[in-house]
Amino acid sequence: MSEPTHVRIFDTTLRDGEQSPGASLNHQEKMEIARQLEALGADIIEAGFPITSIGDFDAVHAIGRELERATVCGLSRCVARDIDRAGEALKGANHPRIHVFAATSKIHLEHKFKKPFEAIKQISVDAVKRAREFVDDVEFSPEDGSRTELNHLVDITAAVIEAGATTINIPDTVGYAVPAEYGRIFSHLREQLPVIDEQGIVLSAHCHNDLGLAVANSLAAMQGGARQIECTINGIGERAGNAALEEIVMAIHTRGDYYKQYRTSVNTKKIYPTSRMVSHLTGLYVQRNKAIIGENAFAHEAGIHQDGMLKNRSTYEIMDPRDIGVPESKLVLGKHSGRHAFRDRVQHLGYKVDDATIEKAFEKFKALADKKKDVYDEDIEAILDEQLESGSA
Ligand code: KIV
Ligand code: ZN
């Protein structure tokens, strides 16, 4: 079997992620996250949008100079002063990339630019050429790409590649695409433009989660030929957010049987600590049932599930929590729990008690669990102590 293809992970937590309402970060916080993203194994880190603020400029500048392995990217509109500012911010960076974007969908052309497609194509070509005066690594995004006419996508992709773009990103800016349709855009571009494969141009997916399809769309793009996926930690980003890095990476990792042609360079054991750091520094809480990194992602309450887990964890767990950096799964004791899990917890708490005591304590535990949402270890200890005292009296 041939070697799996490396799918680059382009993390935009510090740019698109920081655009989440209420998520702004100070300089030190951005530096801390950037270092963690490099340690995590992200290939490209979009560190900011230099023209928008001094803070973004400084972050791109400092991160670009400090990081030794990851490519550091600054975003720019197809506007000369934006590109110059991004180029200036990336001066001295170890692996700099400028990412230029211009909207190409009919809706954006008519309502935002009030310009025809051909004019936007020329602006894009000029922008890519200008960016190439600063760096060799230039990414181009036709914003609202998934709602752009396919022939326009092919046309602008060919033109910007000729102008020097090395990565072509097709954003699903408003999270409108569905997987098969989005994946098809990538295979279509590769069919129509042999230059993509001949010159090693990287196609990239960038999905928003308005319909909850960002990760599914990113994986479909990968199957269509995308070799870069843009995503954020915890899926933070504009509106419903961006594709979640942890979900993409763990889907490829866990379903290695299905996605055997692909690999990422992410160290999965660093996913959970990175998620906690981003949540803590942005102040954006992770929902309890969030896949991979939510508090309940490895918690089991139902008696049948707990019983299965105690016999063999693969009955109800498809991932080992330690692979993500989560120390262990939790068997949550609540009203749905059974005797097996209760006995296991009692033993774990250090009690050596006979079956009759366990049985009586279990009845009391069930009665309590019916009234109380969470039953803590302290509650179980209190039940057992009371039981043991009344037994010895
Ligand atoms: O969603 C989007 O279109 C973007 C572009 C700037 C790539 O974030
Ligand atoms: Zn975006």
If you measure from the C-alpha of residue 265 to the centroid of ligand 2, how many angstroms do you get, rounded to a whole number? 22
Distance of CA 212 to the CA centre of its chain: 13
Look at residues 183, 258, 270 and name the one whose alpha carbon lies nearest to residue 221: 183
Distances 322 to 57, 62, 256, 331, 332 between C-alpha atoms, Å:
37, 33, 18, 15, 18
Residue type, 28: Q
If you measure from the C-alpha of residue 246 to the centroid of ligand 1, how many angstroms do you get, rounded to a whole number? 20
Q: How far apart are CA 344 and CA 247, in angstroms?
A: 31
If you measure from the C-alpha of residue 207 to the centroid of ligand 1, how many angstroms do you get, rounded to a whole number? 9
pLDDT tens for the chain, residues 1 to 393: 689 999 999 999 999 999 898 888 999 999 999 999 999 999 999 999 999 999 999 999 999 999 999 999 999 999 999 999 999 999 999 999 999 999 999 999 999 999 999 999 999 999 999 999 999 999 999 999 999 999 999 999 999 999 999 999 999 999 999 999 999 999 999 999 999 999 999 999 999 999 999 999 999 999 999 999 999 999 999 999 999 999 999 999 999 999 999 999 999 999 999 999 999 999 999 999 999 999 999 999 888 999 999 999 999 999 999 999 987 888 889 999 999 999 999 998 889 999 999 999 999 999 999 998 888 889 999 999 998 888 654
Q: How far apart are CA 140 and CA 125, in angstroms?
A: 9
Distance of CA 375 to the CA centre of its chain: 33
393: which residues sit within 8 A by CB, 6+ positions away? none
230: which residues sit within 8 A by CB, 6+ positions away? 10, 11, 12, 16, 46, 169, 171, 204, 205, 206, 207, 242, 243
Nearest CA to ligand 1 atom 1: 173
Answer yes or no: is the C-beta of 104 below 6 A from any ligand 1 atom.
Answer: no
Which among 101, 174, 176 is the best mutation to test ligand 1's pocket, defined by most ligand atoms within 8 Å of the CB? 101
Look at residues 100, 101, 104, 105 and name the one whose alpha carbon lies nearest to residue 90: 100
Distances 233 to 130, 178, 203, 289 between C-alpha atoms, Å:
31, 22, 21, 16
Closest ligand 1 atom to the C-alpha of 230?
7
DSSP character string of 338-364: -HHHHHHHHHHTT----HHHHHHHHHH
6: which residues sit within 8 A by CB, 6+ positions away? 227, 263, 264, 265
Answer yes or no: is the C-beta of 242 below 6 A from any ligand 1 atom.
Answer: no
Residue type, 320: D
Ligand nearest to the CA of 243: 2
Quickly count: other Cβ atoms within 10 Å of residue 177's Cβ.
29
Tell me the three state secondary structure of residue 90. coil
Answer yes or no: is the C-beta of 176 below 6 A from any ligand 1 atom.
Answer: no
**Range list of H helices, 225-338:** 245-254, 271-282, 303-311
Structure tokens at 265: 């360079």
